[in-house]
Amino acid sequence: MQLQTNRDLRKGHLAALVTILLWGTTYISTKILLKEFQPVEILLLRYVIALGVLFLLRPKRLKLQCRKHELYFALAGLTGVCMYYLLENIALTMTSASNVGVIGAVSPFFTAIFALFILKDPTARRPGFFIGFAVAIFGIGLITFQGAAMGFHLAGDLLVILSTMVWACYSVVSRIIGDFGYPTVQATRRMFLYGILFMLPFLKIFGFHPNLSALSEPVVLGNLIFLGVGASALCFVSWNYAVIRLGAVKTSVYIYLIPVVTVLAAVIVLHERITFWSGVGIVLTISGLFLSQGLRLKEKSGDTPESQ
């Protein structure tokens, strides 16, 4: 029995690690695709593919318990799929993938603040949270300042910060949806569907004329499939598997590896240059993230997967 438990834990850690490695490189794939497509075109193509994959995984129709729940699914699709990724994709046209990956990792801060006011979650009241928040914000300031000195637009970094606030809204809404008890795959599929619907007005604003001939290039097609199938659909399944095996608290620690993966991938694949002060900013931001969560992890070290 103990052997089976240890094996399940190893599988959970492996699933979480693989998921983070894939998520951390999504910024790189998007940056590559931006050479051929507009931000909104990448977004729509990515989620149409992801929606199709989730339909194949679980074709059964989701039956709502209450009509009011439809509003929550719509809001989740607007914030977590449409607005978050649209802002992120636009930001990638203005700033580096490294900046987007590191700055985007502070979304848990805003999630905690929003959850405090909406869900009465006390996380943001902890002293360690504010200390970590201050350290991370200082790190982001260094990153943004260095980015401007290297020719990047400040607007790009500001869009990333805005996207983290939008993601925080989604996180709160998705937590509420989670309490409804719907099957996870069908619930996510419904969010994806609403996200696609909310993208349609932006197609009118930005135009939708994707260069489909570019899909004949293996690099372009491969990165698009990676975003749609791997990062958007399958990673969702593997992440939830990890949460079941490890519990939400232990699994969440892996999230803070995303900026590390992104920076390394950006340097290796995109040949982005990291200056000394940018490096200091990255270290401070990641340290702030760990610091803000460190006390919580220590307090909850006795949690089991069943108690999450």
pLDDT over 70 at 251, yes or no:
yes
Q: What is the pLDDT of residues 1-13, one digit of tens each?
A: 555 577 878 888 8
With vertex at residue 284, the alpha carbon angle to CA 167 and CA 152, rounded to the nearest 5 degrees, is: 65
Of residues 114 and 129, more confidence is placed in 114
CA nearest 33: which of 235, 197, 226, 192? 226
Residue with tokens 């969010």, as numbered in its chain: 191
Please report how the helices 258-269 and 2-24 are oriented relative to each other, as an axis angle in degrees rounded to 10.
Answer: 50
With 90 as the cut, is the pLDDT of residue 224 above it?
A: yes
Contacts 24+ apart (CB under 8 A), 143-150: 143/99, 143/102, 143/103, 143/278, 143/281, 143/282, 143/285, 144/99, 144/103, 145/277, 146/275, 146/277, 146/278, 146/281, 147/95, 147/96, 147/99, 147/278, 150/273, 150/275
∠ CA 170-240-231, nearest 5°, is: 70
What's the per-residue H, E or C state across 120-180? CCHHHHCHHHHHHHHHHHHHHHHHHHHHHHCCCCHHHHHHHHHHHHHHHHHHHHHHHHHCC
pLDDT band at 237 (very low <50, low <70, confident <90, very high): confident
Residue 235: other Cβ atoms inside 10 A: 20
Number of CB atoms found within 10 A of residue 160's CB? 28
Tell me the per-residue pLDDT of 156-170, one tens digit each, with 9 for 90 and over. Answer: 989 999 999 999 899
List all residues 6 or more positions away from 113 whose beta carbon is below 8 Å from its beta carbon.
124, 168
Handedness of CA 265, 271, 276, 282 (dihedral sign): negative
* Reported confidence tier of residue 307, pLDDT bands at 50, 70, 90: very low
Among the ranges given (34-38, 81-85, 152-156, 233-237), the one the predictor scored with the smallest mean pLDDT = 152-156
Contacts of 66 (CB under 8 A, 6+ apart): none
Contact present, 115 and 173 (Cβ < 8 Å): no
Look at residue 279 and give its three-state secondary structure.
helix
Determine contact, residues 62/182, Cβ cutoff 8 Å: yes
Structural domain boundaries, residue 174: 2-307
Q: Give the pLDDT of residue 272.
A: 83
Report pLDDT for 304: 35
Average pLDDT score over residue span 83-88: 95
The CB-side HSE value for 168 (13 A sphere, CA atoms) comes to 22
Q: pLDDT band at 301, cuts 50/70/90?
A: very low
Cβ atoms of 51 and 196 closer than 8 Å: yes
Q: Considering its fold, how many domains does the chain have in total? A: 1
Q: Which of 159, 157, 166, 155 is nearest to 110 (CA)?
A: 166
